[in-house]
Amino acid sequence: MAAWSITFAMDWTANDRDIGVLIPEIRNIMKDIEQSSREILTILQKIHNDGGLQEVSGICKQARNLLVPIQEGYAKLSEKIAHQMYYRYHDHWRFGTQRLTFLVALIIYLETGKLANREEVAVALGIKTERENGFHLDLEDYLSGLLQLSSELSRLAVNSVTYGDYARPLELSRFVTELNAGFRLLNLKNDNLRKRFDALKYDVKKIEEVVYDLTIRGLKPHSAPTPQGDKE
């Protein structure tokens, strides 16, 4: 009975320390990270303006500069969270990391026309790829971030037509269709991922409808635009 009481007291003390010290520290760090995340999102929204895609190089550079304080924030989290405690506190940074994965994936798409892999996103955020190496980019967080990308690109397809860029939706359609095909190969067990994947299918359809409208109006060009990263 005495041993049980001691163990209970130790657990209570540890939990009390978490509530009183560590968790507020995590929240403060994430508050700064999420502030930078909002600033990046604001910058990237410029691509939806008339002529925004002509300024994509400068837009992406501005956004990447704001990744520096985010990397510093994750470095602080890494110092405070032991490897084996990562998933105990995961909920405190899960959604923020998913949003940042989306933002990094959008930057890389705008720069290269390609899908960001997990390692590229992890490097951009200043964290590890694999669990055994420490504070890392959880696989489901990475996938959730990618699934947010399709919504932004479907919006871009519509806005591109509004501003007279009739080639852009073709390139976006190919990319999102390939993204959809890739996710179809996965056996998604997470309910949130499955719901996001359902949304991806609607985004594919939305962009296909844009391309179809261009086709029946005789506005569909013969080729899609060259991705920003492939230009000389």
Q: Do residues 224 and 170 lie in contact, with contact meaning Cβ atoms separated by under 8 Å?
A: yes
**What's at 194, amino acid-wise?**
R
pLDDT band per the 50, 70, 90 thresholds, residue 187: confident
Listed in order, strand segments (DSSP E) in 7-150 are: none
| Report field, pTM of the whole predicted structure over 0.85 | yes
The tally of domains found in the chain comes to: 1
Phi, psi of 224 (to 5 degrees): -85, 160
pLDDT reported for residue 146: 97
At 165, which CATH number?
1.20.58.200
Q: How many CA atoms, within 13 angstroms, populate the side-chain half-sphere of residue 66?
A: 22
pLDDT in tens, 9-46: 445 455 655 667 899 999 999 999 999 999 999 999 99
| Distance between CA atoms of residues 96 and 34, nearest Å | 6
With a CB cutoff of 8 Å and minimum separation 6, the contacts of 102 are 145, 146, 148, 149, 152
pLDDT in tens, 71-116: 999 999 999 998 889 999 999 999 999 999 999 999 999 999 999 9
Residues in the chain: 232
* 79 marked as part of a ligand binding site: no
Looking at residue 21, the DSSP 8-state letter turns out to be I
State the residue range of the domain holding 108.
2-230
